[in-house]
Amino acid sequence: MKWIEKIVVVLAVTCACSAQTISSKTSSNKVIWSPPRIDWPQVELPSTVPKEMIGKFRIANFQIVLEKTELEAAQKHFGGKVGYRGDGGDSEGWLCLHGSDADGPWIFWLTSGELDGPAVTGFQWRRLPSNETPDRRCVLIPPSKGGIELPLALHPGMTEAEMRKIVGKPSFVSGKTLIYSHEHQETIHDLAYTVDNMIAIVLRDGIVSAIETSKSTVN
């Protein structure tokens, strides 16, 4: 084989290998749309947190009040598309948002259950790994618009030790998921109601990888 033919063969093999590598990287990328399921324990959780933890918060300077702000109102403010899954009591709606801060890219879902009507009743907040990409229906929140402001200084990416300094001992532990549970009684229109406010914190290698919270008021 002539030397020029050898060069052509080497270049062809190199290009093929490069294309295969790019294709492999592309195929390994995961598009994220719906909030991943967090396995809450199917047992009655003890209420050990003395006061409500997260009843409202701000994202991009827009205030969300759990059980009062409607998911449709948030969608009209941020844009994007509301997603749905499940049936009956297991159904869930969400609005997907994503952005970045000093700790890196994040993805955030405002969530609402079928039994709760149109109101936002919780959220899930995760760091976004390099091999995951938000779906095109998720709304980009530029850093200039403001980040996520919770009543508690919790955020994905913090260490377990930092997290425990803020929320203390969990009410329940299920594997790598720490559950914090609060419950109190309220009288609304002369009727007795029970208010539950819970937070699930998922750990990975001693780091907070996800935070999910919910609030419900039932009589």
Tens of pLDDT, residue by residue over 164-174, are 999 999 999 99
Which pLDDT value is given to residue 8?
Answer: 38
Does the pLDDT value for residue 117 go beyond 70?
no
Q: DSSP letter at 119? A: B
pLDDT band with cut points at 50, 70 and 90 for residue 39 = confident
Which pLDDT value is given to residue 140?
Answer: 97
Closest by CA to 156, choosing from 115, 203, 195, is 203
Adjacency order of strands within the sheet including 56-59: 62-65, 56-59, 148-149
Tens of pLDDT, residue by residue over 195-210, are 999 999 999 999 999 9
Does the pLDDT value for residue 12 go beyond 50?
no
Closest by CA to 62, choosing from 93, 104, 95, is 95
Does the pLDDT value for residue 93 go beyond 90?
yes
Does the pLDDT value for residue 146 go beyond 80?
yes
Taking only Cα atoms into account, the Rg of the chain, rounded to an integer number of angstroms, comes to 22
Tens of pLDDT, residue by residue over 126-135, are 999 999 999 9
Q: How far is CA 103 from the centre of its chain?
A: 15
